[in-house]
Structure 1
Amino acid sequence: MPRASRLAAQLQDEYQAEVSLEKGRGGVFDVWLNDQLVFSKHSVSRFPEDGEIQSAVNAHLAAN
């Protein structure tokens, strides 16, 4: 879970947000914001690239 831990720390620093991690099974790597899925490794068949989660979070925040 090192990748998820790094991402959680980045999101906490950048957005002063409360971030929680849940251990998944089978390579799950999903990022949820306000009960909305903003990234799914399963959907794109890869881990997120640098800055991709932040871009998805920014887009979600701008739309809401």
Structure 2
Amino acid sequence: MSANITIHYCTGCNWLLRSTWMAQELLTTFDGMVDELTLTPGSGGIFEVWVNDERIWSRKDQGGFPEIKQLKQLVRDRIAPEHSLGHSDRQDQS
């Protein structure tokens, strides 16, 4: 499955650098699986990540920013559940 990813970030909060770093991480991790990654400037403290029109992260709802490992897992679970994230993959909790 291919993906369209949007990172919607607040310009007033200066979250552009965080957004571009997360975008780079996702593009590198999911090389060949992402058709489009869009950075969308906004206001009001917004920070949301959308995959194929499904919101997978909202700073307001989740109370902060995702760790990059967590964000990669959320994206992977939607676009390529079989894709290994290597050292960033979930560890079984036994």
TM-score, normalising length from structure 2? 0.61
* Structure-2 residue corresponding to 1:6: 21
Select the structure with the greater relative contact order (CA < 8 A; seq sep ≥ 6): 2
* Structure-2 residue corresponding to 1:30: 48
* Structure-1 residue corresponding to 2:89: none
| Identity among equivalent pairs (%) | 29
Q: Which runs of 4+ in 1 moved over 3 A?
A: none
8 Å contact 1:38–1:60 — kept in the other structure? no
8 Å contact 2:49–2:58 — kept in the other structure? yes
List runs of 5+ in structure 1 lacking aligned partners. Answer: none
TM-score, normalising length from structure 1? 0.85
Rg larger in 1 or in 2?
2
Greater strand content? 2
2:67 alignment partner AA = E
List runs of 5+ in structure 2 lacking aligned partners. Answer: 1-15, 82-94
